[in-house]
């Protein structure tokens, strides 16, 4: 692939001087300010005399990073660096993606959210609390936010698999947007993390004297809906075409909010659509690895909330594209949730679950649990799924008995324990390799070390949403898309699948190496923007669309400074 063109300007103009300049993360160059710049911006005496380079600073910070004793210490190290020098922060990530990704985002961000109040030091993003709802418009109207083009917003109720973390959930929008920039090149000043603080039902957080959020039970019902609506109306008024990504909302709200607002602003929910896209790409790659066409696979979901339903919906579309009828495609799915196998007789199903429920009559001869439900093990024995996808957040849900039963009937079982962080994974690669005698094709939601088994090394691909959402965001923002269609999400998934090493080698890893994520994001962005053009969702066409993609890319490099006077 040819080098991706960059839009980074050739010079920076600012009226900031001295400590004001050094304390502005997007402008701070630290020891890399030249002698002339130190004269011009009154920096002499505030910096050591040695003039350095970005390369030297990266090497120094990488050494310090690697000296940290554990993942959480590395996470706090990187958060501090982001608040001091953003160019250095992003240069460090982009040059060491595979090493940095698990720290800047999952799984380390999980503990970062749990301990957010403990490590908070400097303002980043916007906290909109329920008691301040009358001030939302005034807060967002500040000139510091004039350049915003994309927002990631959360209310902290369902942080990864850790549940309600209250204000600690701000760690998720901060982390997501860091990857918008590091992996897709969206300018840091274009990105705004937002946290909607409607309280928390986590008593440990509320009772913690250090907790920074609103110490109140979580607001629900019409009051919650009205608060979110006030936020969206203020966003639309301030930035009529901004990208709004919903993140880590509880299942009951996630789908509802996406459907309500996706046609009012270009919006997507990464937990639903991003997870679905990367899972679809992984399954398409796994089909290459198994040698079995996608249309012949049988899919079993363990956990069927918003993420599970989203994955199933996109897989269903892919099966239809592969030539199956609606009925044939739907017949390939089985879903396990809290009551066991979802059937048309299962009470209390969410509308998004109902289309995938099996007819109870199909299971008349099956073994039933005392409450009348059908267990995961019984479903595996009867259905003989070829693909098992875990989005339950229940550690150990893929038990040895279940996995061995699956492997007994399938030559190359595809097993995807996607819940994260690692403490919530349905199974570990180590166990899956041993329980299937090395036959399993595995994708996980969090990173794992290689597994040694029978003299062979097995490397597990992390089906991280970062393969999709940064490039998806870049494509949407660059195209100035009016909304985010299912076709654009599918285009993102297909672009990633086309880059799978299994396209050329069935025994290769399912997804590209993490150190190629910037290239992956670019290809995804191009596919998304072109799909928006195809569907008439952007006013940009042809060369103008391509130019906008190139112009949106920002590169973490130091630029010469010029003093703005007057």
Q: Mind listing the pLDDT tens digit for each residue in 223-261?
A: 999 999 999 999 999 999 999 999 999 988 999 999 999
In CATH terms, are 53-265 and 273-466 the same topology?
Answer: yes
Whole-number pLDDT of residue 281 = 97
Closest to 40 measured CA to CA, from 565, 428, 406, 529: 565
280-289 pLDDT, tens digit each: 999 999 999 9
Residue by residue, DSSP assigns 142-177 as SGGGTT--EEEEE-SSS-TTS---GGGGGHHHHHHH
Whole-number pLDDT of residue 565 = 86
Whole-number pLDDT of residue 75 = 98
Q: Beta strand pairing status for 451-453 and 456-458? A: antiparallel
- DSSP three-state, residue 305: coil
CB 12 within 8 A of CB 559: yes
Cα of first residue to Cα of last residue in the chain, in angstroms, is 45
Residue by residue, DSSP assigns 26-84 as TT--GGGS-HHHHHHTT-BTTB-S----HHHHHHHHHHHHHTSSSHHHHHHHHHHHHTT
pTM of this structure: 0.93
Q: Tell me: pLDDT of 5 over 70.
A: no
Q: Choose the catalytic residue: 90, 105, 211, 334.
A: 105
Q: Tell me: pLDDT of 8 over 60.
A: no
Whole-number pLDDT of residue 20 = 97
- Burial label for 405, CB within 10 Å (0-12, 13-18, 19+), is buried
Dihedral, CA of residue 480, residue 307, residue 523 and residue 109, to nearest 10? 90
Domain 273-466 is in which class?
A: alpha beta
Q: Which of 5-14, 244-253, 515-524 has the lowest mean pLDDT?
A: 5-14
Mean pLDDT of 536-555: 96
Q: Which of 3-17, 297-311, 418-432, 549-563 has the lowest mean pLDDT?
A: 3-17
Whole-number pLDDT of residue 566 = 67
CB 547 within 8 A of CB 479: no
Closest to 276 measured CA to CA, from 316, 327, 242: 316
Q: How confident is the model at residue 177 (pLDDT cuts 50, 70, 90)?
A: very high
Mean pLDDT of 134-154: 97
Break the chain into its structural domains and give their ranges. 53-265, 273-466
Rounded Cα–Cα distance for residues 525 and 549 (Å): 8
Task: Give, as one character, the DSSP assignment of residue 5.
Answer: P
50-98 pLDDT, tens digit each: 999 999 999 999 999 999 999 999 999 999 999 999 999 999 999 999 9
Q: What value does the mean pLDDT of the chain take?
A: 95
Q: Choose the catalytic residue: 75, 90, 176, 211.
A: 176
Angstrom CA distances, 160 to 108, 117, 307, 422, 464, stand at 11, 18, 11, 10, 12
Whole-number pLDDT of residue 446 = 85
435-450 pLDDT, tens digit each: 999 999 999 998 899 9
CB 297 within 8 A of CB 476: no
Mean pLDDT of 360-377: 95
Q: Tell me: pLDDT of 564 over 80.
A: yes
Whole-number pLDDT of residue 2 = 36
Is 504 known to be catalytic?
A: no
Angstrom CA distances, 467 to 58, 100, 434, 521, 528, stand at 24, 15, 28, 7, 13
Q: How confident is the model at residue 1 (pLDDT cuts 50, 70, 90)?
A: very low
* pLDDT more than 70, % of the chain: 98
Is 256 known to be catalytic?
A: no
Angstrom CA distances, 297 to 301, 305, 417, 433, 506, stand at 13, 22, 18, 21, 17
Q: Tell me: pLDDT of 11 over 50.
A: yes
Q: Tell me: pLDDT of 345 over 70.
A: yes
Whole-number pLDDT of residue 338 = 87
Tokens coding 119? 């490590």
Q: How confident is the model at residue 10 (pLDDT cuts 50, 70, 90)?
A: confident
Whole-number pLDDT of residue 80 = 98
- DSSP three-state, residue 299: strand
Q: Tell me: pLDDT of 9 over 50.
A: yes
Q: What CATH number labels 53-265?
A: 3.40.50.10380
Q: Tell me: pLDDT of 277 over 50.
A: yes
Mean pLDDT of 93-107: 94
């Amino acid at each position: 692939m040819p080098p991706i063109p960059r839009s980074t300007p050739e010079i920076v103009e600012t009226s900031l001087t001295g400590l004001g300049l050094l304390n502005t993360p997007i402008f701070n160059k630290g020891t890399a300010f030249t002698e002339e710049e130190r004269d011009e911006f009154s920096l002499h005496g505030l910096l050591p005399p040695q003039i350095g380079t970005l390369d030297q600073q990266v090497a120094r910070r990488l050494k310090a990073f690697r000296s940290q004793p554990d993942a959480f210490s590395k996470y706090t190290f990187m958060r501090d660096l982001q608040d001091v020098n953003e160019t250095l922060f992003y240069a460090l990530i982009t040059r060491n993606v595979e090493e940095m990704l698990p720290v800047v985002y999952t799984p380390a961000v999980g503990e970062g959210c749990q301990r957010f109040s403990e490590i908070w030091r400097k303002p980043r993003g916007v906290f909109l609390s329920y008691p301040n709802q009358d001030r939302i418009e005034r807060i967002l109207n500040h000139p510091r936010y004039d350049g915003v083009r994309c927002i990631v917003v959360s209310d902290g109720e369902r942080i990864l698999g850790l549940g309600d973390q209250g204000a600690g959930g701000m760690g998720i929008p901060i982390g997501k947007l860091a990857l918008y920039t590091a992996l897709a090149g969206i300018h840091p000043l274009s990105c705004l993390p937002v946290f909607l603080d409607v309280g928390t039902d986590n008593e440990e957080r509320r009772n913690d004297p250090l907790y920074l959020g609103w110490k109140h039970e979580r607001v629900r019902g019409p009051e919650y809906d009205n608060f979110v609506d006030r936020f969206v109306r203020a966003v639309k008024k301030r930035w009529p075409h901004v990208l709004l990504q919903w993140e880590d909302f509880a299942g009951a709200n996630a789908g509802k909010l996406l459907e309500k607002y996706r046609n009012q602003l270009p919006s997507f929910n990464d937990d639903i659509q991003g997870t679905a896209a990367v899972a679809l790409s992984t399954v398409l790659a796994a089909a290459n690895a198994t040698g079995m066409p996608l249309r012949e696979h049988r899919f079993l979901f363990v956990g069927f909330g918003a993420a599970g339903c989203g994955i199933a919906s996109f897989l269903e579309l892919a099966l239809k594209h592969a030539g199956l009828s609606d009925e044939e495609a739907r017949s390939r799915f089985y879903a396990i949730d809290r009551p066991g196998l979802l059937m048309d007789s299962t009470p209390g199903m969410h509308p998004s679950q109902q289309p995938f429920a099996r007819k109870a009559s199909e299971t008349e001869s099956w073994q039933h649990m005392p409450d009348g439900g059908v267990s995961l093990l019984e479903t595996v024995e009867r259905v003989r799924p070829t693909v098992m996808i875990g989005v339950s957040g229940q550690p150990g849900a893929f038990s040895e008995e279940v996995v061995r039963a699956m492997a007994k009937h399938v030559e190359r079982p595809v097993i995807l324990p996607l819940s994260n962080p690692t403490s919530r994974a349905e199974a570990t690669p180590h166990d899956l390799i041993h329980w299937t005698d090395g036959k399993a094709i595995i994708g996980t939601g969090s990173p794992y070390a290689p597994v040694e088994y029978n003299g062979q090394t097995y490397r597990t691909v992390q089906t991280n949403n970062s393969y999709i959402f940064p490039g998806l965001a870049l494509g949407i923002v660059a195209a100035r898309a009016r909304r985010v269609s299912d076709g654009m999400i599918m285009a993102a998934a297909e672009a990633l699948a086309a880059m799978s090493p299994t396209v050329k080698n069935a025994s290769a890893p399912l997804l590209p190496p993490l150190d190629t994520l910037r290239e992956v994001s670019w290809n995804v962005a191009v596919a998304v923007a072109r799909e928006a053009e195809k569907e008439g969702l952007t006013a940009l066409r042809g060369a103008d669309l391509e130019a906008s993609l190139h112009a949106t890319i920002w590169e973490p490099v130091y630029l010469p400074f010029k003093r703005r006077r007057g």
